[in-house]
Amino acid sequence: MGNDRYNAVVVGAGPAGSTAALMMARNNLSVALIERGKYPGSKNMTGGTIASMPFQQILPEYWNIQGIPLERRIVSDELWLLDNDSAVRIGFTGKKFGMAPYNKHTILRYKFDRWYADQAVKAGAKLFTSCLAVDLVYHKTGPLSKKVDGVMLEGGDVIHADVVILAEGAQAALTQKAGLRKRLKPNEMTLYVKEVLELPAEKIEDRFNLEKDEGASIGMVGYPPSPAIGKGGIWTNRDSLSIVVGGYLNQIVGKGLNPLQLLERFKGHPLVKRLIQGAKPVKYMGHIIPKGGFKKIPTLVDDGIIVVGDAAEMISGRRGMDLAMITGKYAAEAAAQACALDRYGRDILSSYEERVKGSFFYQNMKKGKNVEVYFNKFQDADFLITKAMNDFAYKYFEQNLDTDKNNLRKMLEELINMQPLGKSAKDVLSGLQNWGVL
């Protein structure tokens, strides 16, 4: 491998990197895909579901592809505002989502990423696993100018390439080395832990009210990461459940929380306990999500280099994998154009940046640009709203001996006594944006 030259080298075989490699190989570019894990996905984690519509931009009707490791098609999507022993449940169940072209599928990354990288290999990309890229190498283009011209691997081997695509995920060490992104501060990332719990398919279908192969996704706010701002969640796989909990790193550390204890506490909640009863833990993992938001999007291109996916902080609400794939696709197209022109400068590669800036997710991120700041300032916002909604619902559903008018007055009084109504409205709005509902 040492000192080989390719049209492009991609660092990281997650959804962003494998998409870029696949699309470039399809375009007859020579591509090296570098992955530090023993196999793609061995170090990766998500909730999670993958959105169908964006994925189809890369692999149309992907669900028909032989051997694709999809778990379940999501027909039920819920958000639970969870209090100590109750929940306000907001959600939608749509049988239409159970039919092609579907809405979302659950996946397990240790199966999915391996399969997906293999699609890039089948298209002609060369995959190198257990291979850590430790630095960028440069080529002088003038007395004062240089371009990125490849990567150096642990051990000293160099892979040269006209274009380097950094798809290295949230930590983004090389993106930082290239001077394109700053190190994330603890208040600019969330830390999540996850357990995969085995449970027979029939039990899953019974407990979540599903038919065969149908799936459910439940996001939970309030109680799970209490007293930090974050989320918990449960996703149904074919014969296992994914259970996840976490929150902002600065709050987890600052409040002396231990992620493992958070997970155990979450699993012990009466409404969660019921769902996971008898399930056997088979995998445990942890991961961060970059949460700098719109204001922290790094420089996306420079001479000879493009940044995609989590490394580029492309996270919007609950969506990340599909945005990783789309940015991987855009990067592949920009690289193909550069190779056709045999010009690899920022001026040519910036077509990638323009497409990202014109995308729906960039607009969404822009709209929610103050959410992270808000939740770092008002760290109790999730709990206040969750608590208020649960108290409100309790009173609403309670069959007492008072008039409807008095009951409504008491409910409103309670809400107003908690905090000014304007602040509650802001909490709800920011919450909806943060939870990925708006």
Ligand X SMILES: Cc1cc2nc3c(=O)[nH]c(=O)nc-3n(C[C@H](O)[C@H](O)[C@H](O)COP(=O)(O)OP(=O)(O)OC[C@H]3O[C@@H](n4cnc5c(N)ncnc54)[C@H](O)[C@@H]3O)c2cc1C
Write out the residues near ligand X by the rule CB under 6 A.
11-17, 34-37, 40, 43-50, 132-133, 167-170, 173-174, 192, 194, 244, 287, 289, 309-311, 315, 318-322, 324
- Going from the C-alpha of 232 to that of each of 109, 140, 168, 244, 259, the distances in angstroms are 18, 49, 25, 5, 12
CA distance 135 to 286: 25
Cβ-based nearer residue to ligand X, 215 or 390: 215
Name beta bridge partners: 243: 195, 234
Place of tokens 């065969």: 212
Smallest distance from ligand X to CB 151, Å: 8
Residues in the chain: 438
Smallest distance from ligand X to CB 380, Å: 23
Cβ-based nearer residue to ligand X, 356 or 388: 356
Cβ-based nearer residue to ligand X, 279 or 288: 288
Cβ-based nearer residue to ligand X, 289 or 297: 289
Smallest distance from ligand X to CB 27, Å: 20
Smallest distance from ligand X to CB 42, Å: 8
Q: Convert 102-121 into a string of H (helix), E (strand) and C (coil).
A: CCEEECCHHHHHHHHHHHHH
Q: Which residues contact 76 (CB under 8 A, 6 or more apart)?
A: 91, 92, 93, 208, 209, 210, 214, 215, 216, 217
CA distance 347 to 233: 43
Find out whether 258 and 191 touch, Cβ atoms under 8 Å: no
Cβ-based nearer residue to ligand X, 98 or 309: 309
Question: Checking phi first, is residue 3 left (phi over 0); if not, alpha (psi -120 to 50) or beta?
Answer: left
Cβ-based nearer residue to ligand X, 272 or 388: 272
- Going from the C-alpha of 256 to that of each of 181, 223, 227, 387, the distances in angstroms are 29, 16, 10, 22
Find out whether 306 and 23 touch, Cβ atoms under 8 Å: no
Q: What are 193's two structure tokens?
A: 């832990």
Smallest distance from ligand X to CB 23, Å: 14
Cβ-based nearer residue to ligand X, 116 or 344: 116
Cβ-based nearer residue to ligand X, 107 or 388: 107
Smallest distance from ligand X to CB 52, Å: 11
- Going from the C-alpha of 248 to that of each of 183, 190, 228, 312, the distances in angstroms are 16, 4, 7, 19
Smallest distance from ligand X to CB 416, Å: 36
Smallest distance from ligand X to CB 322, Å: 5
Q: What are 229's two structure tokens?
A: 């701002």
